[in-house]
Amino acid sequence: MTTKKERAEIIGKRLDELYPTVDVPLEHKDAYTLLIAVLLSAQCTDKRVNAVTPALFAAADTPAKMVRLGQEKIRKLIETCGLANNKSKAIFELSKMLIAEHGGNVPKSFQGLEKLPGVGHKTASVIMAQAFGAPAFPVDTHIHRLAQRWKLTSGKNVVQTETDLKKLFPPGRWNKLHIQLILYGREYCSARGCDGTKCPLCRELFSDRKTPVKTKK
């Protein structure tokens, strides 16, 4: 039986083979547009977000322009993303806060980001990692599922999963690795496409496993 550390090394090697270079799957041009795209991605596919943001950013790609656009026009432009009422309010309010408290700039700290309307720890982690290059390990449902299937975490919640993964992988790997894991989870080890026994890494790591793994939320 392999240890967590041994499995982590195998996973890192295989993911580097599959995805030697990675890009943020959400289209953006700066920290602000990435922040808006990540906020829109809640309970919405990246493909749908990328279909919506060109028109939104053509109308408003800065906090000042977004405030001038107004909440109702924002809502109409993003309505196909789902949760449009909540998301449009968050986008409008956080844009006002960025102007009032940060000179129109996206704050470069977890504390500053997490005070913004609609921005939780995962969203803040994505911005810190992908916009500012700070070591962060955003854990979404794909990563939470994979970490449990590969026995890298107890899987009690995403907070525990983030803590456990940070112990297994060096900080210099976090920013790239979280995207690699998301890509692998979508392509090979999805919620329905694999049950912990079917995808290449599940089979390599647990060749004797016969029972499906039940994911804890």
Residues belonging to the active site: 122, 140
- Contact (CB, 8 A) for 82 and 30: no
